[in-house]
Structure 1
Amino acid sequence: MKQAVVLWRIVAVSLTVILSLGLSAAAGPKLPKVVIGWTPPDITGVFKTATDFFEKAAADAKKNGIDVEVISRSPATHVAFADQVAIIEDYIQRKVSVIAISPIEVEVVIPAIKKANAAGIPVIIVNLLEPIKGVNVASYIGFDNTVAGMISAYALVDYYGGPGVLGTGPKVDVKPGTYLDLAWWQRTYKNVDPKTANVKARVAIIEGIAGGFFSTAR
């Protein structure tokens, strides 16, 4: 979750820089209103955080004399593919300034992205870094899951006999509220010798495969 919050802070800062362009209200004539159409796959967890930071970026832009509005709409469910397409098409009809999409499924939204391209509306893809073929995307914002994979590996070693908070291995005293990030795991295993650790398992960890919320690519 900490990675997600950092990502959305970057989103907010990036949008503020893009929208503000280093200008203030006194720098020249009044700038046109900027309308951002944002469609996440749902409104919970990390996507709620994303929406919050979109709105904070808009507020920062307004402080610099730029009128920015964020319209946020999500599908009714995680499998309501047509709903997300309809939301994108509605943004196109409204002639918003930019459309930000975190796709439920990439292939499903490609025709809608093409319509946005034809209408001259920039599209930002959120939570994905893999380029989408056949469409023009102004910017991709996504995760590098390398650290997540490393933490997953430590957790599995813990579960199969290593020190930590899971499984049957030596238990580590953890104060309530402690964030078990990569640094915590590295400190915990700093003096553990892999040759003598009582860990027996054959596992595979798959992290960071490109795709959508319910990706067929996975």
Structure 2
Amino acid sequence: MKKLLLLAVACFLLSAIMAGEGQAADKVEIALVPPAMVSPFYQAVIKGANEVAAKYGYELQILAPDREDDAAGLLNIVETMISKKVNAIALCAMDEETSVTAVKKANAAGIPIVLFNTLVDLPSGDVFAYVGYDQRKGGAQVAEYVLSKIQGDIKAAIIEGLPSSYTTERAGGFNDVAAKEPRLKVVVSQAADWEREKAMNVVTNILSAHPEINVIFGLSDEMGIGAGQAVKAAGKTINDILIMGLDGNESAFDAIRKGLTTGTCDVNPVGIGTATIETIHKALIGESSPKKVVTDTIIVDASNVAK
């Protein structure tokens, strides 16, 4: 009788272990790799991604380098995720070379990869889909908004991010409009590497060297807020200098409500996160997807920030 009891317990434990292994094998893990967490933009992307992952029962593995210019750190994270045999990867890198290298590593491992916050085609590597907004259009929207708000001549400063397609496209859209409109002149364009404090310092120097500036376009919300802080420290307000950002972060909406900045181009980062995981879901179940999954952009200012 005792032997039978021990045998029954052993069988029960073996069944439990096998069930646990089966559940582990069924777990779907998705690596979500932003370039860093410097901007609240990526927290908003993660929020949207988590909502869809929960819907499908996926587990998100979220890791990022400390700084957006740490390409080696980002690639190390991708390699770690590949070694863990995740089922799919969602990646946002700051430069083309890093993106291509990461994509090819995922391709070699047979892991589907989606690039988010970009629609720029890579020259090589197999990307399942690109998810993001038209960044050049976003920059152009800001320029058109500025023209609608200021009737006279506009002397603008652009605060750039790190060298990347993001900086090129956003500034390019603004400059495209300026090239067609004699009233709008870009007087100076300087980098602040996507960071609020750097933007504050850069704008402080710009205002000293170019007191005629009446528009500042930060190519990210964090840099737009930094510009607002510099303008405030100089004893001026958004009635003197129109200040725009781009992202659609909650911190930017708060800055608009407080009158620190004029507005932002809201690119719906939560929606980008949602669309990214929905696109990965298609890859995992064998469905096709458009190569470019495009999200909308809208200008937000004091007139609609509460909506």
Q: TM-score range by the shorter chain?
A: 0.5 to 0.7
> Does 1:53 find its partner at 2:48?
yes
Q: Aligned to 2:111, what secondary structure does the other structure show?
A: coil
| Superposition TM-score, scaled by structure 2 size | 0.42
Question: Across the two proteins, how many residue pairs are aligned to each other?
Answer: 147
Q: Which has the greater radius of gyration?
A: 2
Q: Aligned to 1:134, what secondary structure does the other structure show?
A: coil
| Larger relative contact order, structure 1 or 2 (CA cutoff 8 Å, min sep 6) | 2
Q: Considering only aligned residues, what root-mean-square deviation do their CA atoms show, in Å?
A: 3.4
Q: Aligned to 1:141, what secondary structure does the other structure show?
A: strand
Runs (5+) with no aligned partner, structure 1 = 1-29, 63-67, 170-174, 187-218
Distance apart, 1:59 and its partner CA: 1.1
Q: Structure 1: how far apart are the matches of 2:54 and 2:74?
A: 26
Q: Structure 2 vs 1, CA of residues 111 and 167 (structure 1 numbering), >3 Å: closer, same or farther?
A: same
CA contact (8 A) 2:100 2:125 kept: yes
Q: Structure 2: how far apart are the matches of 1:51 and 1:127?
A: 12
> Does 1:34 find its partner at 2:28?
yes
Q: Aligned to 1:36, what secondary structure does the other structure show?
A: strand
Q: Aligned to 1:48, what secondary structure does the other structure show?
A: helix
Q: Structure 2: how far apart are the matches of 1:137 and 1:143?
A: 17
Structure 2 letter corresponding to 1:38: L
- After superposition, residues 190-201 of structure 1 pair within 5 angstroms as none
2:74 to 65, 81, 84: 84
CA contact (8 A) 2:112 2:128 kept: yes
Distance apart, 1:148 and its partner CA: 4.5
2:213 equivalent in structure 1: none
Runs (5+) with no aligned partner, structure 2 = 1-22, 154-237, 243-255, 264-297
Larger deviation: 175-184 or 127-136?
175-184
In proportion to residue count, which structure has more strand?
A: 2
Q: Aligned to 1:96, what secondary structure does the other structure show?
A: coil
Distance apart, 1:137 and its partner CA: 0.4
2:181 equivalent in structure 1: none
Distance apart, 1:160 and its partner CA: 6.2
Q: Aligned to 1:99, what secondary structure does the other structure show?
A: strand
Q: Structure 2 vs 1, CA of residues 156 and 94 (structure 1 numbering), >3 Å: closer, same or farther?
A: same
Structure 1 letter corresponding to 2:46: T
Q: Aligned to 2:36, what secondary structure does the other structure show?
A: coil
| Superposition TM-score, scaled by structure 1 size | 0.57
Distance apart, 1:156 and its partner CA: 4.9
Q: Structure 1: how far apart are the matches of 2:51 and 2:131?
A: 17
